[in-house]
Structure 1
Amino acid sequence: MKRVLITGATGFVGKNLLSDLKFHGFDVQTLNLRTVNHHFDFRDTDTLIHLAGKAHDLKNISSSSEYYEINYDLTKNVYHAFLDSEVKQFIFMSSVKASADEVPGILKESDTADPKTHYGKSKRMAEEFILSQPLPEGKSFFILRPCMIHGPGNKGNLNLLYKLISKGIPYPLAAFENKRSFLNIENLCFVIHELLERNDIPSGIYNVADDEVLSTNDLIKLIAIASERSPKLWKIYPALIRFFAKLGDLLNLPLTTERLNKLTENYLVDNSKIKHALGKEFPTHAQDGIIKTIRSFQNLK
């Protein structure tokens, strides 16, 4: 069984992955990069999973330098240490935002990357560094680009929607028609588990997304089902909603332009490359995963 070392194990993905790998019998250790001062000890490690990073800040209070220091500089140092070590496998958690913030069609790994935010740019810089380094024989790397991840314990926009719907408050954005990809944490853990178990998957960049795409209106209906409520969908004129979102930008209200875009944009992600490489189906359907996530919010009440 492979010996695995995880950075960033205290985050949402890290906690779930740590639990999943231990359940499957892997020898898993964690590394807090804040305590090692760039002196990395990767002895007795077969695979290094680098999750540590600066997440996208929806409140826009983080300095731009933080993204580059953590997502790029730190990743570069960790990858250098990997190349100089006896570790055979490196898995880097990037993001679809390293490729694009807006997707007019369906996002593929072959699309020209054009990130717009500091988060996306810093992740893309880390990707480019990994891709630029000669890979010693016997080593492999995997750059995973997950889309919006959901699962028990995730308290992002899905949690905000749940709080709205569970209180019987109507959803006012039903006039916006959109489709977007999501990623259940169980499917992400499944992909990583497969990468650890096998040696027939080529190094490279892989988008990771559930097979099914959902609209925000679909999410509202699923939340209502899980909450045993009837969905209340209000179709308010979109221009009026955008006006209130701009007010939210100025007054720091819950609805901001960025949050509105998150809830209503189209963002479709092609997962065929990783599915073809694995030759297996993902274990969890998006709808089932969403309902499981919502019910976890109910248990926290």
Structure 2
Amino acid sequence: MNTNLHIITGNKGFVGINLIKYLNQNGKNTKGVSRTPILEELSYDTLNIEKLNQSKSFIHLAGKAHDLKKTSDDSEYYKVNTELTKSLFDQFLQSDCEVFIYMSSVKAAADEVEGLLTEEVKPNPVTVYGKSKLAAETYILAQEIPDNKRVYILRPCMIHGPNNKGNLNLLYSFVSKGIPYPFGKYENKRSFVSVDNLCFVINELIENTNIASGIYNIADDESLSTNQLVSIIGDVVNKQAKIVNVPKGLVKLIAKIGDVLPLPINSERLQKLTENYEVSNLKIKKAMQKNLPLSAEKGLQKTIASF
């Protein structure tokens, strides 16, 4: 076994690109697996037990992302997020590869959070995306793991990083264009995770044989309100962030109109911007016995500066 080779699916995605760069900088060799391989990459067809025998870890990032436009066929989620994962995990179990890391999501546990989301919560996903991720988790957990292998299921919250705006895009456009942010009346707390912190955790999971197999939430240490987020964006772009306290009743009415007419805000976006979604990272930090390299604010500043 080549203890310095690490196979990664979804290597062309945002997390994959960052992870390969991070692992390479930390002296590891990586090989990508994708549907349409280029150069030295593997395809799902050419990935086999023999290739896995040569690697120390198998990091499965590939998946079908949550489709906010709701145009995807439900079966596609199960085909990619569940069945592909099951097939790859079976190959891992038959190989000499030592570490399997599956990139799941907090959405496999809960779509709405009251209080703090921990790994002990009884999963109750609402969306097909969350259900397909949970089905893969359930399959992995049902298999017997040999003593010489370690298996990690990661549930990251909203991942961000340089050049990946995600849900920050709307807030960024508010502040950068000088448009007042109208939802100041809403007090909420949300967890984020910077791609730097996520890559740090994955590297630790590969190297630290003392970290027990299992499910781990991945989040930055601090949760932030959307109002704080707007202020951070203002600081980074050197513009005074204007936060306006529009009455909640009026905001909801505008959002309902946005469900019908093409306004920048609708009910779903309003919920995303103002809901509470706090995720505990205590289990992974206790297992690593290390602090994360970036604070939530520093990570967000880095992301926003790249826009």
TM-score, length of structure 1 as denominator length: 0.95
In structure 1, runs of 5+ residues without a counterpart are none
User: What secondary structure sits across from 1:112 in the alignment?
Assistant: coil
Match of 1:27 among 26, 29, 38: 29
2:105 corresponds to: 95
Matched, 1:71 2:97: no
2:289 corresponds to: 279
Percent pairwise identity: 52
2:144 corresponds to: 134
Please say if residues 58 and 259 of structure 1, whose CA atoms lie closer than 8 Å, have aligned partners that are also in contact. no
Alpha-carbon distance in 2 for matches of 1:87, 1:31: 16
2:40 corresponds to: none
Write the deviation string for residues 183-222 of structure 1: whole angstroms up to 9, x where unpaired. 1111101100111111110000000111111000000000
What is the CA distance between 1:102 and its match in structure 2?
Answer: 0.6
What is the CA distance between 1:250 and its match in structure 2?
Answer: 3.0
1:40 corresponds to: 47
The alpha-carbon distance between structure 1 residues 37 and 93, as it changes in their structure 2 partners (threshold 3 A), is closer
Worse-superposed segment, 39-48 or 246-255: 246-255
Alpha-carbon distance in 1 for matches of 2:185, 2:121: 30
Please say if residues 188 and 208 of structure 1, whose CA atoms lie closer than 8 Å, have aligned partners that are also in contact. yes
1:4 corresponds to: 6
Please say if residues 38 and 77 of structure 1, whose CA atoms lie closer than 8 Å, have aligned partners that are also in contact. no
Matched, 1:168 2:178: yes
Match of 2:121 among 105, 111, 120: 111
User: What secondary structure sits across from 2:55 in the alignment?
Assistant: coil
Alpha-carbon distance in 2 for matches of 1:252, 1:101: 25
Please tell me the residue identity of whatever aligns with 1:40.
L
Q: How does 1:152-301 map to 2 (within 5 A)?
A: 152-297=162-307
User: What secondary structure sits across from 2:58 in the alignment?
Assistant: strand
What is the CA distance between 1:34 and its match in structure 2?
Answer: 5.6
Write the deviation string for residues 13-72 of structure 1: whole angstroms up to 9, x where unpaired. 111111111111101110114664556322411100000001111222222122111111
Write the deviation string for residues 121-179 of structure 1: whole angstroms up to 9, x where unpaired. 11111100000011123111000000011110212111221122101111111111100
User: What secondary structure sits across from 1:102 in the alignment?
Assistant: coil
1:59 corresponds to: 69
Write the deviation string for residues 69-96 of structure 1: whole angstroms up to 9, x where unpaired. 1111111111111111121110000011
The alpha-carbon distance between structure 1 residues 114 and 34, as it changes in their structure 2 partners (threshold 3 A), is farther
Alpha-carbon distance in 2 for matches of 1:106, 1:262: 17
1:150 corresponds to: 160
Please say if residues 99 and 124 of structure 1, whose CA atoms lie closer than 8 Å, have aligned partners that are also in contact. yes
What is the CA distance between 1:251 and its match in structure 2?
Answer: 3.5
Alpha-carbon distance in 2 for matches of 1:92, 1:33: 18
Worse-superposed segment, 58-67 or 145-154: 58-67
TM-score, length of structure 2 as denominator length: 0.93
User: What secondary structure sits across from 2:192 in the alignment?
Assistant: strand
Please tell me the root mean square deviation across aligned C-alpha atoms, in Å: 1.4
Worse-superposed segment, 5-14 or 243-252: 243-252
Alpha-carbon distance in 2 for matches of 1:255, 1:277: 41
The alpha-carbon distance between structure 1 residues 37 and 4, as it changes in their structure 2 partners (threshold 3 A), is closer
